[in-house]
Structure 1
Amino acid sequence: MNTAIVLAGGSGRRMNSDIPKQYMMLKGKPVIYYSLKAFQDNLHIDDIILVTSDHYIEYVKKNILDDTLDKVSKVIQGGVERYDSVWEGLKCIKESGYVFIHDGARPCISQKLINDCYEAVVEDGACIAAVPVKDTIKIADSEGYAAKTPDRNTLWQIQTPQVFEYDIIKSAYSSLYRSGRFNGVTDDAMVLERFGEHHIKLVYSDYRNIKITTPEDLNTAEMFIENIF
């Protein structure tokens, strides 16, 4: 059983909106629809769990889910932090397989990326979508001055989906909650890095697989989405 956990618990704070970004309209559909549709249409995905805030559970069921999204088996309440929401999703999975964890605010996910991640996780057990960094990166000191320039050839910008064998990521998250060492955890790969010994394969992704964070991102996503769906 291969499951996609789609996270839709973010806010609209940086969008200057009272509506969470994943429920804003993009080409006539809510942003979250495109992620759900991508996993719905993929042959490797058997089940979809949507994790959202308590206020939007009924909204999703009434206004987004229909017969074309019948792989969505559960719409559940998330937690305070991203890792809390992922943990809630992981606890709902009862059968081992592969788990695709995806930010619902990334609507431009393609079938090719899902397929490439599937091939990588079958081979390596853990993988994450990523693209090489294009710009020079500076490490700042405590006073805001440029202190160091890392080798750009070793730097990747991490995206989602992040995909794992269920037992591997469930064990790592269990260790996270037993230890209480939540500081600095921003993605699932960090949980495995901190509490596991499994190598994580970087899967070459697509620069169009952007995360909608600011109003400008919606305009960019509109240009990209037509070439994906």
Structure 2
Amino acid sequence: MSENCAIVVAGGKGRRMGKAINKLFLELNNKPILAHTLEAFENNKNIDSIILVAGKEELEYCKKEIVLPYSFKKVKKIVPGGEDRRDSVLNGLKAVTDCDIVIIHDGARPFIDARIIEDGINYAKIYGASACGVQPKDTIKIKSHSGFSKGTLNRSELFCVQTPQCFRLELILKAHEDVAGKNISVTDDTSVAEMCGNKVFLYDGSYDNIKITTPDDLLLGEKILKHFSIDNID
């Protein structure tokens, strides 16, 4: 029987939030953002286990203030993050055992629904790698260094990538190990996979699946939460 493991990355400082604490510990509807995110995977029947990657100084806090109070039984390990997101994900991957598919997700995206998780897993089983996202609503311009427009991109060919990003474990682990220690700048795991010659299937995410980064995102998150619900049985 195949196993699916979610790696939730929660080690970022979130400086753009302008708060003294990790933004993931801020509350939406009297519950920490990170708890909302973990709940989505805890309640999903397709997820067998969760690895939480947190800042080294926040491991105990995550355990005592997030995992235990909210009874997240699927969180099997809380592991320390690295110097950057890429290192943190690799630490999480190395902690995974008995798993076929890994679902890598930003802790700052609490509005992930069951359909997106299930689709990601299914596509990763077929193609080896998948990521959800949405088409941009705005016209995208190429801006020159002098501030002038250099051209307009074809919006129908553009894709705003979100998480979760789902992979066969051996594929993404090898890719991360291959680029580890190299001076390569990447912002997500699809980039790591593609650098090693892997193709990533892109599928529909949701405009509600926002990443909470700024104070304005907190306000938007409160509005989304009013109509957002997680299907506990799907």
TM-score, normalization by structure 2: 0.93
The more displaced of 144-153 and 80-89 is 144-153
Which of the numbers 171, 174, 197 marks the counterpart of 1:171?
A: 174
Q: Which residue of 2 aligns with 1:149?
A: 152
Partners of 1:76 and 1:149 in 2: how far apart?
A: 43
Q: Deviations over 1:106-164 (max 9, x none)?
A: 01111111112122112211100110111100111222221121111000111000000
1:211 aligns with 2:211: yes
CA contact (8 A) 1:3 1:47 kept: yes
- Rounded to whole Å, the distance in 1 between the matches of 2:99 and 2:73 is 21
Q: When the two structures are aligned, how many residues end up with a matched partner?
A: 226
Following the alignment from structure 1 to structure 2, what is the Cα–Cα distance between the partners of residues 143 and 132?
28
Q: Among 162, 181, 192, which residue is 2:165 paired with?
A: 162
Give 2:85's aligned residue. 82
Please name the residue that 1:11 is paired with. Answer: 13
Partners of 2:128 and 2:60 lie apart in 1 by: 35
Does the Cα contact within 8 Å between 2:53 and 2:78 map onto a contact in 1? yes
Q: Give 1:70's aligned residue.
A: 73
Q: 2:42 aligns with which of 40, 43, 67?
A: 40
| Aligned-partner SS, 2:161 | strand
Offset of 1:222 from its aligned partner? Answer: 1.3
Question: After TM superposition, what 4+ stretches of structure 1 lie above 4 angstroms from structure 2?
Answer: none
Could you tell me whether the CA contact under 8 Å between 2:87 and 2:180 is conserved in 1? Answer: no
Matched, 1:58 2:60: yes
Q: Which residue of 2 aligns with 1:113?
A: 116
Do the aligned residues in 1 keep the contact of 2:5 with 2:99 (CA within 8 Å)? no
Q: Are 1:96 and 1:167, in contact at CA under 8 Å, matched by a contact in 2? A: no
Which of 2, 5, 29 in structure 1 is aligned with 2:4?
2
| 1:68 aligned counterpart, secondary structure | coil
Displacement, 1:53? 0.6
Alignment partner of 1:27 out of 29, 32, 35: 29
Instruction: Deviation per CA, 1:65-115: give whole Å up to 9, x if none.
Output: 136311001111101211010010011113341000000000111111111
SS at match of 2:180: helix
CA displacement at 1:186 relative to structure 2: 0.5
**2:113 & 2:224 partners in 1: Cα distance?**
11
Q: Secondary structure at the match of 1:64?
A: helix
Structure 1 residue aligned with 2:192? 191
Q: Distance in 1 between matches of 2:150 and 2:219?
A: 35
RMSD: 1.3
Counterpart code for 2:229? I
- Native 8 Å contact 1:129 1:158 kept in 2: yes
Preserved contact between residue 12 and residue 18 of structure 1 (Cα < 8 Å): no
Matched position secondary structure for 2:67? coil
